[in-house]
Amino acid sequence: MHMGDPHLAALHTVFTAEGRSGEPAVESSIDGDVRNIGVARYREVADRNLTGWKNGTQPESAVWLRCRAVESDIAVALSARTVASCGSERHGEHGAGPGRSRSRSIGR
Residue pLDDT, tens place only, 73-97:
999 999 888 877 776 554 444 444 4
Q: What is the model's pLDDT at position 107?
A: 46
Q: What is the model's pLDDT at position 54?
A: 92
CA atoms within 13 A on the CB side of 36: 13
pTM attached to this predicted model: 0.62
* 102 vs 22: which has the higher pLDDT: 22
**Left, alpha or beta for 7 (phi > 0: left; psi -120 to 50: alpha)?**
alpha
Cα dihedral sign, 43-49-51-54: negative
